[in-house]
Every structure is written in C-alpha cells, then in structure tokens.
A and B are shown apart, each in its own frame.
Chain A
C-alpha cells in the first residue's frame, strides 16, 4: 500500500490565535510557552511568536514574568475594550498606574518607569483622566503632591490619613472629643471599682477596661460618623497615656477571648496624677516669659516686676 503522506498544512494563523485564547481561558492564571507548544506541537516557534505578538498588540493577552519564565494571561475583556482607542504610550502609563495599586503613584515616578518626557506624561494623564480611567488624589503628608490611581479604587489609609482626616484636614476636635469620652468611661469604671470596697485585687482588676470594651462603648455612643477600628481606639488611648491620665498593662489572653490580638490583651485604667503641681510653677518666676532678662538693677528686676505685683494682689 502506498503510504498516505499527510502534508503538514500550515495552520491557519487565525486558528492559532483562537486556540491560544481558548487555552488562556482554560488556565485563567496564565499559560507558559511550554503549554502552547505541548498543545500544538506541529507549530513552528516563529508562527507561535507572531500569533502571540498579535494578540498582545490587540490587547487581548497580558504578558507577565514568573519564576518559570513568561506567562500569558487573558486580559479582562472589559478593560480591553476601553483601551482600544488609546495608543501604546497611554497603555503603558495606564499599566504603571494600575500596578501601583491603591497607594497611587506620583507623576515623577511614572516618568522614571516609562522613560517618557514630562510633556508627554502630562498630556497622557489628562487624557486618561478625561476618560475617567484614573483619578488624582491629594496626599495628606505633602499637600502639593498628587498621586494617581485607578478610578474605581479606594485610596489607601496612608494617603488620606485614615479616620482622623476628612478632606485632608486633621480633625482635632473629633480627636479631642474621643479623647475625653474614653477618659470619662475609664474614670467612671475606676470609681465604680473603688466604691465597691472589696478586696484590693478584685478592686484593681475591675477598674481595668480592655481596648475592646472601650471600642464597643465608643461605637455604641455613636459620636463618630466614620467607622472606627480597634487600632484607632488604641491610638486614642495611647494619647491618654501620654497625657498621664491613663496607664496600660498587657496581659496574656487565650486566643479565643474577645478582643485579643496575637494572644495578648491591652488593659487600660484611669489614674490620678502622681504629684500636685510643684512649687516652682506656683510663683510668677516659674512661668515668667522674660526670666532670662531679669536681674537686679535692670529694666526687668524683681523689685519692679509687674507679674509679681499682680500676683501679690490676689
């Protein structure tokens, strides 16, 4: 019998591309070159490369690098349609911004990464903004700096400052109010414990409040428009410690108990100050703003000190 020679037909370029796309959809995490080769062993490397390049330029595939080599991943079709109208430079800039995630990226960094001149970058950014693909967010740390991020992303706390900032303004009254409320809560707890007059160990333990309890109290109080987390409450309680009104201890707690983080719990207790205001500040000299200029026989001297005169009139 004569052998039937099967002439290797040059596979249709369109077929290759659709086959590759099918493979990508099968493996949403991405496929390597190896996988494509295994699937279509008769295809030559060059044809494969051409097909992949075409898909990339059409914006249907994403090229990623992984530890095993190059990965090809199907691009989100919605996004793919958006970029149809833009050219390569814009796509590059968009990619860089997307990579920055929700921290955003500064325009100078975009310039470094893309190696494009400043004028081009500005034009592209304006374009993308008008297409509502990206947005600019003012950073709270340096008020002149603007970081760019994707339109639908929520800016990260480090950029907007979190719960204490509303529109780039530090809300000091809000912090003050929270401060006072937390302190009142701890104070009333300590007083209740003191009045209970049981043995001292129990008295002391009951005057403690864990950060979780304080958090629940503040949430129930409802004075905050913004949702506050336990860390936020802990920063407020820390400021009370720095005011010298509250002391903290850390105890080891079982993992399951409410409010424990990594097996520890923080307990806070209201305390009264260690000493009364000292003697020096009860005299005019202790608070005098021109103390260093004062000496006997000068313009400012103890004999003609106006602060002393006022003080003696009390």
Chain B
C-alpha cells in the first residue's frame, strides 16, 4: 500500500476504533501477514490488548486469519476494506433512499457492528425505532417487523434471555459492499445519460440496469442482452410511452457517440446491452478532464481532451488543432508535463538520438494519470481529516464547557427548575463563544461533506482501474 493509503487507514482506524486498534492495524498493514507473537513484539502492547484489537478487526472484516501448516495462525489486514470506512455515510444514505428508515437503521447497525445475527440486528433496529417514536410521540408508524422484533426482545427478556441461545445462532449477516458499489456505478451512469441526453433516456437505461442487477456478474464488462419487449414490460408504471417511442429511444441510445448502450441482435424486437466498461472509461476520463480544467484552466483542458482523442501529437500539431497561440500552448504543455499528466514519447530519426533529429510526441497515459490522481485523493482526504481533528483539538476547552452546560441544563430541566435559573446557566456561554461554537460546527460539517465528495471521486477512479485491470 502506498504511503498516502497507509496514513489514511491509520487515521480512519484511530477515529473509529481508538489508538490500540490503530497501532495493531498499522503494524499489520505495513508488514503483511504475521502471527500473534510477532505482532505483540512489534507493537509493544500487552498480549491481551493485541488480542482484543485483533478481535475488533476480525469482527469488522478488516483483517483475516489463516492457519499455517506449522500450527501458528497468521493475521493479515485488508487495506481496501479499511478505506471503505470512509464510504459508510454513503451506504447508509443509499439504504435510506431505497428502503426508508428501517433500512437505514439496519445498515447502520450492521456497519457499526461488523456482522450480527439477524435476531439481534432486528432487535436493535426495533429498539431504536421505538425510541425515536416515543420521542416524537405523535404518529405510530407501525410496521409488522418492528412489532415482531419488539415482541421477540420482550419475550427474551421475560425468559431471562441470556441463557438460551437465539434461534439463528451461528448465522451472521453482513453488508454486501459489492452490491452497493454496483448501485453507485449504475447511479453515475444514469445521471450521465440524463445530462447528455434527456430524462426519458436515462429512465430507459435505469430500467435496463435494474433488470440486469441479478443476472450480471459484478465485474462484467457488458450486461446480459435484453430484448426491447422485456424492457417495455419492465418500465416503471408512471411512464406511459408507446412501444414505438421506446424503440426510437433505444435506437438513439445505441447510436450515440457515447456508446453506453449497444445493440447486440434483432430478436425480440432488438436486443440491447449496456456497455459497462466503456461507460466507466468515459466517466473516468470525464473526471480526469474536470480535474485538469479546474486546476489549469479551460484551455489546458482543451489540449488535454485533444491529446486524449488523438493519442500522440507533436508540439506544432497541438497548436494547430487547438487553435491556441504557440507560446501559450507550449507553456501549458510544459506545466502539465511537470505534473505528469501528459508524457513525452521520443521517436528518433537517427540511431544516435540527437535531439534535433528526434520527434517528440505528447501523449496521455490514462491509467497512470488515474492512479496518480487516486493517490492524490487519498492524501487529500487524510489532510481533511487531520484538519478536522486539529480544529476539534483547538476548541477542546470550549467544547467541554458547552457539554457541561448542556448536562447541567438537562439535569435542571429534569428536576423542574425555573426559567430564570435555566437562563442563568445558559448565560455561562457568552455570545462570542457561542459564535465560535457555531463556526466550529459549520466547519466540521463542511469538512465532513467534502470528505464524502472526494470519496465519490475515489469511487469513480477505483471502479475504472478495477474494470480495466479485470479485462484480459
């Protein structure tokens, strides 16, 4: 793993699980699979602590164990899985949009606990839902699952619960991250189609992707062929477009230069597939282009796109095609070259590679650029997290004070104090301090949000790299 990834992993482990787990995780990530003894030696912690830390890591699926032939068991940390912790908020939000509140809480519980048996998961979710319900008190939003869960929990308590093992002992449930990733990828595809074409085309593509959710393997480069009749039947109920119009949309999608959808035959009114690999490539190159555009300007972006299309060009040709004056074009190309976004290919005319007699062609190596920017993303997220911690540390005193005041307020309200006394306690936090607290909250939220945004870029680039590596 690269330095940036290691740093990010240790930050994530520290934030979510504490220093001991971070130390153990760090040691495992840096040095690879090792048995327990060596781990204890490396980290300098007590064996008990190391064992507990390993338990935590194993529970969450962040580490693996493998019994070795000579009796010792080796533990190995899974770096990519640690990086997924960054994406938890996105998983939870997606679950909320797809399945509503119970879904959101279920996913959250599973993510927080690693893996759980269903009975305890449902029990927890039910508890939380009733808590929030009691808090609001107004609408009893009863759902069958919740009541059942509630009953089960009550029954267990009545039976003096802990002695009897739950009915599904040994069956643990975990969140399927791969499936979430597929969903994100589909979302990105559909929104790209919507912005390039129109709403209806994006709905058609969404239907096609939904139909292929279970039939297509996650790493496939094409979905299974779908006939136009099937698509017509599966369109969402609200869309009453006629079959002929659907056929036209499909033909348009297949003809579009984007090549997201391809026609693979004529049976059943025309069979169409979604070209997943191509779509990922287009989205990743669009990401790269937008990064170049924001960093260097739109003229540089023009040169970048030009090089992406034409693959290899000489200095003079770049100027001619892009219609940019020679001096500026040269300056921009050299800046991009220094950032390693474009590369030079030398083609010598003579065996002695003399510079005056060599062709120098500019080119863009998409995979290399993608990896480099991915590395930059990791470092950026780590920077944002560091800054957030720093801000929290700086204002620690203030935060503690506000927490104390809130605790006092809560206890006073519980004992029924008068309004004047409450007011006095509130006054303990002065105006400027309140302002500072507001600012702090706003900044922390902003940084959190931007961590999520960078994570979107990370997802795009990772999906692209993975898809390209898988193809033979």
Q: Which residues of A contact B (CB under 8 A)?
A: 141, 164, 170, 172, 175, 179, 194, 199-201, 204, 235-236, 238-239, 242-244, 247-249, 271-283, 285-287, 291, 294, 296, 301-303, 305, 308, 312
**B248 adjacent to A282 (CB under 8 Å):** no
The residue from B245, B282, B303 contacting A199, defined by CB atoms under 8 A apart = B245
Is B289 positioned at the interface, with any CB of A under 8 Å from its CB?
Answer: yes
Mind listing 13 A-B residue pairs with CB under 8 Å?
A: A200-B200, A201-B251, A272-B196, A277-B293, A279-B454, A280-B380, A280-B453, A283-B450, A286-B294, A291-B376, A302-B382, A302-B383, A305-B383
Q: Which residues of B contact A164 (CB under 8 A)?
A: 323
Q: Which residues of B contact A285 (CB under 8 A)?
A: 376, 379-380, 383-384, 454
Q: Which residues of A contact B294 (CB under 8 A)?
A: 277, 281, 286-287
Given A249-B257, A277-B290, A280-B377, 8 other A-B residues pairs in contact with their CB atoms under 8 A? A200-B248, A204-B252, A235-B323, A274-B283, A280-B457, A286-B380, A296-B386, A302-B382
Is B373 positioned at the interface, with any CB of A under 8 Å from its CB?
Answer: yes
**A302 adjacent to B384 (CB under 8 Å):** yes
**A282 adjacent to B450 (CB under 8 Å):** yes
Category for how many chain B residues contact A? 35 or more
Interface of B is mostly: helix
Min CB distance A150 to B, Å, is 28
Q: Which residues of B contact A (CB under 8 A)?
A: 188, 191-192, 195-196, 198, 200-201, 245, 248-249, 251-252, 257-258, 282-283, 286-287, 289-291, 293-295, 298, 301-303, 305-306, 309, 316, 321-326, 373, 376-377, 379-380, 382-384, 386-387, 390, 443, 446-447, 450, 452-457, 460
Q: Which residues of A contact B252 (CB under 8 A)?
A: 200-201, 204
In the A-B complex, the 3 residue pairs with the smallest Cβ-Cβ separation, listed nearest first, are A279-B453, A285-B380, A281-B294
The residue from A204, A239, A276, A305 contacting B323, defined by CB atoms under 8 A apart = A239
Min CB distance B382 to A, Å, is 8
A285 to B1, CA, bound (A): 21
**B456 adjacent to A279 (CB under 8 Å):** yes
Min CB distance A83 to B, Å, is 39
**B387 adjacent to A305 (CB under 8 Å):** yes
The residue from B309, B384, B457 contacting A278, defined by CB atoms under 8 A apart = B457
**A274 adjacent to B298 (CB under 8 Å):** no
Kindly report which residue of chain B lies nearest to residue A202, judged by CB atoms. Answer: B248
The residue from A172, A283, A305, A312 contacting B325, defined by CB atoms under 8 A apart = A172
A305 to B384, CA, bound (A): 10
Q: Which residues of B contact A179 (CB under 8 A)?
A: 323
Q: Which residues of B contact A239 (CB under 8 A)?
A: 302, 321-323
**B282 adjacent to A242 (CB under 8 Å):** no
